[in-house]
């Protein structure tokens, strides 16, 4: 039954998601903003630019992908929010990341359900990158 | 650029991102709780069951799939484990639901967070849904063909004992 409790629970869950997100996102946002004014971020960007170009993304966004793959999407949001990315770029990187993220944690979850996880892992990584490249050609 | 300026940029920027995410996520979580309390998911799973049969997933797999799709992978996995323990899901269901859900889970919440950052939501949703459906369908077909091929071999193997 829907009552005031329902709404209160929803607000609590929303605040808890925001808190979990903020805890991860804000420190990363600060670090990336600092790195932008050092030679470090431009150097990383140059190394990854050729690969990222295939997906129509700036080299800096490689950090968002790596953080998203190994940590979670909140970490990659810290990177994406601190960079000036276009609507098109955010849409592409969001599609890649939503297919492929939190790999260590989510693979452990899949494993608990009793399936072989290596094929799933390969599927997510491969599919994520293919989607990025295809979206860059299509939109 | 002085350190103070950079700190200010980071503080203002991250605060404004969090604000735009909150404005979307909190109403959505209220909406999710309403769906749960109205048991809409169970009803939707019932309605989806015939469609999921096309993907080769039996009725027992429908609820975990819908739950994972809307509420996220860990929620879906919890229901998968429960359904498998109670024998409501075959090994084939397990594989297919897992493949679908790793490609496409927490469809609305995660998408909305990126929409708050400026992404075009419908493109992300369509891409993930279409990929999950196509790949699950292809895998289901492949498993069916393999089962058929494996069938005669098992019969042949059991012949000498007869």
* ipTM of the prediction: 0.91
- A77 part of contact set with chain B, CB < 8 Å: yes
**Nearest C-alpha of chain A: how many angstroms from B63?**
15
Q: Is the pLDDT reported for residue A98 higher than 90? A: yes
Contact at 8 Å (CB) between B72 and A73?
A: no
Token couple for B34: 């309403």
Q: Does B110 touch chain A (CB under 8 A)?
A: yes
Higher per-residue pLDDT: A125 or B148: A125
**Chain A neighbors of B102, CB-CB under 8 A:** 106, 110, 120, 123-124
Count of domains observed in chain A: 1
> If we measure between CA atoms, which residue out of B40, B39, B30, B28 comes closest to residue B121?
B28
The angle, 0 to 180 degrees and rounded to 10, between the axes of the packed helices B107-116 and B3-37 is 150
d(CA B30, CA B59) in angstroms, rounded, equals 28
Q: Tell whether the torsion through CA atoms of A96, A101, A106 and A111 is positive or negative.
A: positive
In terms of residue numbers, what domain contains A99? 4-138
Which residues 28-47 on chain B approach chain A with CB closer than 8 angstroms? 28-34, 37-38
> pTM here?
0.89
Q: For residue A114, which residues of chain B lie inside 8 Å, CB to CB? A: 81, 84, 94
- Residues A51, A29: Cα–Cα separation, whole Å: 23
The radius of gyration of chain A's CA atoms, rounded to the nearest angstrom, is 17
For residue A87, give the nearest of B29, B104, B120 by CB distance: B120
Measured distance between the N- and C-terminal CA atoms of chain A, rounded to whole angstroms: 43
Crossing angle between the packed helical segments B73-85 and B59-71, to the nearest 10 degrees: 160
Q: What does the block give as tokens for B134?
A: 């196509």
Q: What is the pLDDT of residue B160?
A: 41
One pLDDT digit (tens) per residue for chain B, 162 residues: 688 999 999 999 999 999 999 999 999 999 989 988 998 888 888 888 888 888 888 888 888 999 899 888 888 899 899 988 898 898 899 999 999 999 999 999 999 999 999 999 999 999 999 999 999 999 999 999 988 888 654 444 434 443
Q: What is d(CA B144, CA B121) in angstroms, rounded to the nearest whole number?
A: 35
Nearest residue of chain A to residue B94 (CA atoms)? A115
For the residues A92-116, what does the mean pLDDT come to? 94
CB contact (8 A) between residue B6 and residue A37: yes
H/E segment holding residue B78: helix B73-85
Q: At A84, is the secondary structure helix, strand, or coil? A: coil
Q: Rounded to whole angstroms, how far apart are CA atoms B93 and B53? A: 10
Q: Is B102 on the interface with A (CB under 8 A)?
A: yes
DSSP A83: S
Query: A76, A73, A72, A64: which is closest to A104 by C-alpha?
Result: A72
Does residue A6 register a pLDDT over 60?
yes
Nearest to A114 among B37, B94, B110 (CB): B94
Q: What is the reported pLDDT for B1?
A: 64
Number of compact structural domains in chain B: 1
**Which is nearest to B106 in space by CA: A106, A40, A9?**
A106
pLDDT recorded at residue B157: 40
Q: In terms of residue numbers, what domain contains B87?
A: 3-158
pLDDT interval class at A79 (50, 70, 90) = very high
Contact of A47 with A28, CB cutoff 8 Å? no
Question: According to the 3-state scheme, what is the secondary structure of B29-76?
Answer: HHHHHHHHHCCHHHHHHHHHHHHHHHCCCCHHHHHHHHHHHHHCHHHH
């Amino acid at each position: 039954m829907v009552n005031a409790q329902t709404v209160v629970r929803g607000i609590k869950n929303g605040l808890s998601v925001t808190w979990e997100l903020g805890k991860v996102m804000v420190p990363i946002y600060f670090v990336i903003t600092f790195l932008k004014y050092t030679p470090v971020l431009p150097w990383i960007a140059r190394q990854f630019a050729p690969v990222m170009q295939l997906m129509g993304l700036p080299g800096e966004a490689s950090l968002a992908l790596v953080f998203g793959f190994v940590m979670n999407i909140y970490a990659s949001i810290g990177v994406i929010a601190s960079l000036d990315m276009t609507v098109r770029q955010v849409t592409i990187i969001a599609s890649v990341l939503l297919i492929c993220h939190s790999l260590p944690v989510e693979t452990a979850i899949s494993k608990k359900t009793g399936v072989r996880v290596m094929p799933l892992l390969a599927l997510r990584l491969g599919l994520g990158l293919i989607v990025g490249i295809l979206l860059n050609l299509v939109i | 650029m002085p350190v103070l300026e950079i700190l200010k940029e980071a503080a203002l920027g991250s605060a404004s991102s969090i604000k735009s995410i909150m404005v979307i996520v909190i109403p959505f979580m209220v909406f999710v709780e309403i769906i749960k309390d109205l048991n809409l998911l169970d009803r939707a799973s019932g309605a989806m069951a015939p469609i999921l049969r096309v993907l080769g997933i039996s009725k027992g797999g429908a609820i975990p799939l819908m739950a994972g799709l809307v509420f996220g992978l860990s929620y879906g996995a919890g229901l998968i484990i429960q359904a498998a323990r109670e024998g409501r899901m075959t090994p084939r269901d397990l594989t297919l639901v897992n493949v679908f859900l790793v490609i496409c889970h927490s469809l609305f919440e995660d998408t909305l967070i990126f929409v708050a950052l400026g992404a075009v939501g419908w493109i992300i949703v369509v891409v993930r849904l279409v990929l999950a459906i196509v790949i699950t369908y292809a895998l289901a077909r492949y498993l069916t063909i393999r089962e058929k091929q494996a069938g005669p071999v098992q019969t042949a193997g059991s012949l000498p004992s007869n």
